[in-house]
Amino acid sequence: MTDENTTRHDAPTRRALLKYGLAAGSTALLAGCSDNAGSDVSSETTTSTETTTSDPDSTSTTRATDTQTATDPSYTVEMSPVGEVTFESVPESIFTRLTHHAGMAFALGRGDDVNAMHAPGYYNRLWNQITPRLPGVELDWSGLYSSWQASKEKLYELDSDIHLADPAWIVQLSSWSMADIEEVREQIGPWFGNSLSDTHQTPPESYADSYQYYGLWEQFEKVANVFKETARYEALAEIHTDLLSTIEADLPVSDERPAAVMLASTNLEEDIYAYSLSTPGFLTAHTRPLSPKDAFEGSVESGSTVDFETLLSADPDVILLLAGFQPSASMADARSVLESDPVASEISAVTNDRVHAQGARYQGPILNLFQLEMTAKQLYPDRFGEWPTYVEGPYPEFDTDAQLFDRQRVADIINGDF
């Protein structure tokens, strides 16, 4: 086990509202196995029933409730790599680093309680590409502390009730040590986050024996339990499960699926990064369930740089441009670059006008719903409806019968009106 999970402090913590429990036995935290969700929330009087799933991107149907006595209102939630964390009241102010955690807070109606996140201006604009399609839902993350290179001093200043951030990632920053991680936990508020599940990254040595990987919705359930928002989680999980079922039921056979690739670039004529759509981890939670063919057939490692010649050799049927959905991006310019280049213009996706905008891979549950629908339409328009030739503006508005999930229902859940 790590120092974080084994070191005990006899002195009382500064923050009385939140207590950090010791991690469970290390044998329960095996990388890649499904979580036993029934143990996420516990107290002396907790009762729960559970079901498990072998697919980390399928929504668990776990039902976990906790009952509290008048004398002991505390409750405990477990997640790797932090182990068990005991809360005496629901956290209010929320520090996040990566946007899948901020997106979870947003989904639970706690978006306004987030006080830090990576690139808040950028992701505020991106998330507000979908809020116009959610009646009555508003979000403003502009002006928050940009926490990519978080400092311990700033965390003291923010004085957050909880840090929805992965200490196994934070400790890899040059300015952080395990002692700093422990200090923040003891003196400010607990850590509760998991980020190395993004691509199943190898954890640092300090956490090597205690790290477990989770799917996006598996982790969301645990975060929902922290905020005692099990009902909101279950309502959104039902929508997610229905959406995955809709997609799975109408996918064409493998031979009839398009070859696709996701690209990221600030300048298509200079640097292009190619990403697989099916690698393990929650970064592909909106593409892996759709099972397109890998345009590179495994010959290009996800995250590698490619050029137009390499793309033409792979000849994808569909190109997905990461961050093309961001308001500051120009899909018209990107398409123009591809169409005017003598090599790129011969790629099937360019020739057939199948170069589409994507949003973000670090997605919370709500963005995941929209991106599942978006990508289904982009890859399989004959099965799930045509995706328009997007140029700019918010997420396209579809007639009700062309929507793959109910926007009003999602908005009601976020707003607590369900």
Q: Which residue has the tokens 């699926």?
A: 257
85 SS3 class: strand
Same domain flag for 219 and 330: no
**Whole-angstrom distance, CA of residue 299 vs CA of residue 281:** 20
Q: Quote the pLDDT of residue 373.
A: 98
Tokens for 348?
A: 């099937």
Q: Are residues 172 and 303 in the same domain?
A: no
Question: Residue with structure tokens 């409730």?
Answer: 65
User: Please, are residues 118 and 97 in contact by the beta-carbon 8 Å criterion?
Assistant: yes
Looking at the structure, tell me whether residues 105 and 25 fall in a common domain.
Answer: yes
Question: What domain range includes position 274?
Answer: 252-415
pLDDT digits (tens, 9 = 90+) for 94-138: 999 999 999 999 999 999 999 999 999 999 999 999 999 999 999
Q: Which of 162, 193, 228 is the last residue of a domain?
A: 228
Number of domains in the chain: 2
* In a domain? residue 286: yes
* Beta carbons within 8 Å of 274's beta carbon, 6+ residues apart: 261, 262, 263, 296, 300, 302, 303, 304, 305, 306, 310, 311
24-73: per-residue pLDDT in tens? 333 222 223 333 333 344 433 333 333 334 455 655 444 444 444 456 78
Give one DSSP letter per residue of 250-309, joined into a string.
HPPPGGGSPEEEEEEEEETTTEEEEE-SS-SSGGGTTTGGG-PEETTTT-S-TTEEE-HH
Q: What pTM does this model have?
A: 0.85
Task: Name the band, by pLDDT with cuts 50, 70 and 90, for residue 277.
Answer: very high
Write the CB contacts of 392 (distance below 8 Å, at least 6 apart in sequence). 327, 330, 331, 332
Note whether residue 243 is domain-resident: no
CATH code, domain carrying 403: 3.40.50.1980
Q: Is residue 200 left, alpha or beta, with left meaning phi > 0 and alpha meaning psi from -120 to 50?
A: left
The helix/strand/coil state of 179 is helix
Same domain, 181 and 256: no
User: Is residue 84 within 8 Å of residue 201, measured between CB atoms?
Assistant: no
pLDDT band of residue 355 (cuts 50, 70, 90) is very high
Note the pLDDT tens digit of each residue in 312-332: 999 999 999 999 999 999 999
CA angle 123–128–133, rounded 5-degree value: 145
Q: How far from chain centre, in Å, is Cα 264?
A: 18
Q: For tokens 């009646």, what's the residue? A: 135
| Nearest C-alpha neighbor of 140 from the set 129, 148, 128 | 128
Decide if 216 is inside a domain. yes
3-class secondary-structure state, position 335: helix
